[in-house]
Amino acid sequence: MNGIQKFIIGKPLDTGAVVKNIDATVFSGGNIGELYVEPDKKTITYKMSEETVVYGLGETLRGINKRGWLYVSNNSDEPHHEEGKHSLYASQNFLLVDNGDGACFGLYIDHPGEVRFDIGYTKSDVLTVSAEDFDFSLYRIDGETPLEIVKNFRTLVGKSYEAPLWAYGYGQSRWGYKDASDIRDVRDNYRKLGIPLDMIYMDIDYMQDFKDFTVNPERFPDFEAFVREMKEDGIRLIPIIDAGVKIEKGYDVYEEGIKNDFFCKKEDGTPLVAAVWPGKVHFPDFLNPAARKWFGDKYKVLTDMGIEGFWNDMNEPAIFYTEDHLKEVFGELDNLKDKELDIWGFFGFKGLLNSIDNNPEDYRRFFHEFNGVKVRHDKVHNLYGFYMTRAAGEAFERNNPDKKILLFSRASFMGMHRYGGVWTGDNMSWWSHLLLNIKQMPSLNMTGFIFSGADTGGFGCDTTEDLMMRWLEFSIFTPLFRNHSALGTREQELYRFGHAEDFKNIIELRYALIPYIYGECTKAIEENGMYFKPLSFEYRYDERAREIEDQLLAGDSIMIAPVYEQNKTGRYVYLPEDMKLVRFRSFSDYDTEVLTKGDHYIKAPLNEVLVFVRKGKKLTLTEPASCVDKLDVNKVASVIEF
Ligand code: MIG
């Protein structure tokens, strides 16, 4: 069987994730193949065999094989990406079950609110999908192989976003570049060392008082001229846009939002007052098409000044506090004030303070106008970041149909992959998060988020030179390639470290690979396929390959096996077939060695990048340049064939 079946359970909301019309069966419970749907228990169950591998779910914690954990779709501003967590910023409710005996199928739960995927967590051999609101469309996707199922699934949800070619360049970012001179410094230091660079990202500090679509005139006296100046140097500025709109008399975005009734409202009809970076804000109702159009058109303020890319942040939405909840907390604190706190009283007190940000109760305080109906936010919570990014993406298509604009988001949902990519949010400068990055990429690819990547070097905590180098050695293969870090952490621009020459070699190798990476990503987009694949997708009946999660296929020609532990000068690599190892010291200085199928211990000094060329394939390297616009694909540096 090779099709897609659609089952309507309860009264689903139309999330906008699916673009293909499919005849549906109204389903009141029972079996769908080996899936057992019980609406009264609000569960779908499936009995896993010992061999069953479960893939999917896009951006999550833990492994490529999802077995053995509870994953909860509940988009969260979660800066602690630890293995005990259940939710990150994204909800991509697609599962792919592979039984190893040839039988495999996909499952997509088109639900805009919380869904729980208990994949052998409660009972090690049972997969249970549950949702409090048991109203959704369920899609069962069949196919001969996992990759075929992925491709079928993606015809359902539509073609992935295509980033401009220059966006495959290297980007430097940091929360804390506060003015034009900070940014010129970054450019000058990169150019001085001859390390290629295409983008400098602008975090919230460029704005006037953190107001969307404003630029602080003291910090950037002539912004348009500055954008031009940078572009003449081959560097594009990529500003951040936050979800919350500052409440301030006279601020056009605020005034227009109020006048046109575009903000999310509470039960009593007044707009919700929350607080994020700008102080008190309202949240635009991106789910309302008129509000979406209005907000999307605002990006024009910046594109008119020459800006060609954006990153959308805080769109889970993150909430520092709401006015109402803060009042309640102060009220309760008042009650406690003069009382003696026993130990439980003390924990209650602490809990009150810890409940202030991203409080679940706050997500029940406001409403959207969704498909003409008033819907409480928590019911459609996971759509918010998707619809913010959709606002921008639709506006770009409307206003600039011939131009590709860089766009990616922190929060996401299936369907958003048509409008932009994602970065995986606030990771840490930890070796374990380099490994997490490796494992996240193929799952994001299954769900169509091809143009994606993580904060290279780690966002929170202090990085080290060796971590940065090893991380780059992996992320030169990720489509979105950005070094980003948090305010207050150790500075991690590549010129801050001692071995500039090594960093230069690694970044130049990226540029030499851009035609390959871009070509393979474009193919993945056109064919609804994947750029990053787990080994098991190509070597399906190889038992060893099925379990490998720290080696990936990147495009059709190569396998990569990054080093992700500190103080290691090599690692074990499993080859599912004979391959040609290429050890790059730079794009032009490398040696090759043919290795046979099986296990190998591979030496990998800190400054070397390992690439394995597959049998019958070739890898073409282009002469690198200081930025993508200066790359000439006809200047082939070398062709490595096996
Ligand atoms: O509350 O804009 O994930 O990349 O640097 C933090 C400041 C808000 C979170 C983003 C991060 C960004 C930071 N933002």
Which residue in 365, 338, 400, 343 sits closest to 273, CA to CA? 365
The residue with tokens 């602490």 is 350
Does some domain include residue 267?
yes
Residue 209, pLDDT above cutoff 90: yes
Nearest CA residue ID for atom 11, ligand 1: 426
Count of domains observed in the chain: 2
Ligand 1 atom closest to residue 174's alpha carbon, by position in its atom list: 5
For the segment 591-595, the average pLDDT, to the nearest whole number, is: 98
The residue with tokens 């004979």 is 578
Q: Are residues 138 and 203 in the same domain?
A: no
Residue 484 neighbours by CB distance under 10 Å: 23
Which residue in 283, 293, 302 sits closest to 365, CA to CA? 283
Ligand 1 — pocket residues by CB below 6 A?
Answer: 175, 203-204, 240, 313-314, 410, 425-426, 484
Which residue in 30, 49, 46 sits closest to 38, CA to CA? 30
Tokens linked to 220 = 């950037």
- 8 A C-beta contact, residue 186 and residue 233: no
Give the distance (Å) from ligand 1 centre to CA of residue 450: 22
Nearest CA residue ID for atom 12, ligand 1: 175
Which residue in 515, 444, 476, 507 sits closest to 161, CA to CA? 444
Q: What percent of the chain has pLDDT over 90?
A: 96
Q: Are residues 126 and 183 in the same domain?
A: no
The residue with tokens 């494992």 is 439
Amino acid at position 245, single letter: V
- Give residue-wise pLDDT tens across range 430-445: 999 999 999 999 999 9
Give the distance (Å) from ligand 1 centre to CA of residue 109: 30
The number of helix segments (H) and strand segments (E) in the chain equals: 13, 40
Nearest CA residue ID for atom 6, ligand 1: 314
Does some domain include residue 511?
no
Nearest CA residue ID for atom 13, ligand 1: 175
Strand partners, 26: 8
Q: Is residue 1 very low, low, confident or very high in pLDDT (cuts 50, 70, 90)?
A: low
Q: Are residues 138 and 175 in the same domain?
A: no
Q: Are residues 245 and 358 in the same domain?
A: yes
- 8 A C-beta contact, residue 56 and residue 99: no
The confidence score (pLDDT) of residue 623 equals 98
Ligand 1 atom closest to residue 203's alpha carbon, by position in its atom list: 2
Residue 462 neighbours by CB distance under 10 Å: 14
The confidence score (pLDDT) of residue 102 equals 74
Nearest CA residue ID for atom 5, ligand 1: 175
Q: Which domain CATH number covers 56? A: 2.60.40.1760
Q: Are residues 331 and 419 in the same domain?
A: yes
Sequence-distant (6+) residues with CB within 8 A of 126 are 45, 46, 47, 48, 118, 120
Q: 57's torsion region: left (phi>0), alpha (psi -120 to 50) or beta?
A: left
Cα separation, 79 vs 74, whole angstroms: 14
The confidence score (pLDDT) of residue 494 equals 98
Which residue in 639, 565, 637, 640 sits closest to 604, CA to CA? 565
Q: Are residues 436 and 483 in the same domain?
A: yes
- Decide the pairing of beta strands 69-73 and 53-56: unpaired
Does some domain include residue 359?
yes
Q: Provide the domain limits for residue 112.
A: 4-157
Q: Are residues 151 and 174 in the same domain?
A: no
Give the distance (Å) from ligand 1 centre to CA of residue 370: 28
**E-strand stretches of 475-518:** 482-483
Tokens linked to 542 = 């190889």
Which residue in 554, 383, 310 sits closest to 13, CA to CA? 383
For the segment 185-195, the average pLDDT, to the nearest whole number, is: 98
For the segment 382-406, the average pLDDT, to the nearest whole number, is: 97
Q: Are residues 216 and 326 in the same domain?
A: yes
- Residue ranges of the alpha helices (H) in 243-321? 252-259, 289-298, 300-303
Helices 431-446 + 465-475 axis angle, to 10: 20
Residues, the chain: 642
The confidence score (pLDDT) of residue 474 equals 99
Cα separation, 451 vs 518, whole angstroms: 10
Collapsed DSSP state (helix, strand, coil) of residue 378: helix
Residue 118 neighbours by CB distance under 10 Å: 18
* Backbone phi and psi for residue 192, each to the nearest 5 degrees, phi listed first: -60, -40
Q: Are residues 145 and 191 in the same domain?
A: no
The confidence score (pLDDT) of residue 100 equals 77
Does some domain include residue 578?
no
- Give residue-wise pLDDT tens across range 408-418: 999 999 999 99
Which residue in 58, 55, 184 sits closest to 547, CA to CA? 55
Give the distance (Å) from ligand 1 centre to CA of residue 232: 28
Does some domain include residue 275?
yes
Mutate to test the pocket of ligand 1, among 178, 313, 316, 412 (most ligand atoms within 8 A of CB): 313
Tokens linked to 429 = 């400068």
Q: Are residues 170 and 149 in the same domain?
A: no
Q: 46-50, 347-351, 568-572 — which is least confidently predicted?
A: 347-351
Last residue of a domain, one of 134, 157, 180: 157
Last residue of a domain, one of 502, 524, 540: 502
* CA distance readout (Å), 462 to 86, 431, 527, 567, 568: 25, 12, 40, 17, 20
Ligand 1 atom closest to residue 313's alpha carbon, by position in its atom list: 10
Average pLDDT, the chain: 97
The confidence score (pLDDT) of residue 337 equals 86
Q: Are residues 269 and 292 in the same domain?
A: yes
The confidence score (pLDDT) of residue 339 equals 85
Mutate to test the pocket of ligand 1, among 200, 211, 240 (most ligand atoms within 8 A of CB): 240
Does some domain include residue 552?
no
Does some domain include residue 540?
no
Ligand 1 atom closest to residue 276's alpha carbon, by position in its atom list: 1
Give the distance (Å) from ligand 1 centre to CA of residue 318: 10
- Give residue-wise pLDDT tens across range 90-142: 999 999 999 977 799 999 999 999 999 999 999 999 999 999 999 999 999 99
Collapsed DSSP state (helix, strand, coil) of residue 447: coil
Ligand 1 atom closest to residue 425's alpha carbon, by position in its atom list: 3
Cα separation, 11 vs 355, whole angstroms: 33
Give the distance (Å) from ligand 1 centre to CA of residue 170: 19
Does some domain include residue 35?
yes
Q: Which domain CATH number covers 330? A: 3.20.20.80
Ligand 1 atom closest to residue 410's alpha carbon, by position in its atom list: 3
Q: Are residues 115 and 181 in the same domain?
A: no
The confidence score (pLDDT) of residue 101 equals 76
Mutate to test the pocket of ligand 1, among 202, 207, 314 (most ligand atoms within 8 A of CB): 314
Cα separation, 45 vs 35, whole angstroms: 6
Nearest CA residue ID for atom 8, ligand 1: 314
- 8 A C-beta contact, residue 198 and residue 236: yes
Give the distance (Å) from ligand 1 centre to CA of residue 470: 24
DSSP state of 623: P
Tokens linked to 324 = 């109402």
Tokens linked to 464 = 């080290």
Last residue of a domain, one of 118, 141, 157: 157
Ligand 1 atom closest to residue 455's alpha carbon, by position in its atom list: 4
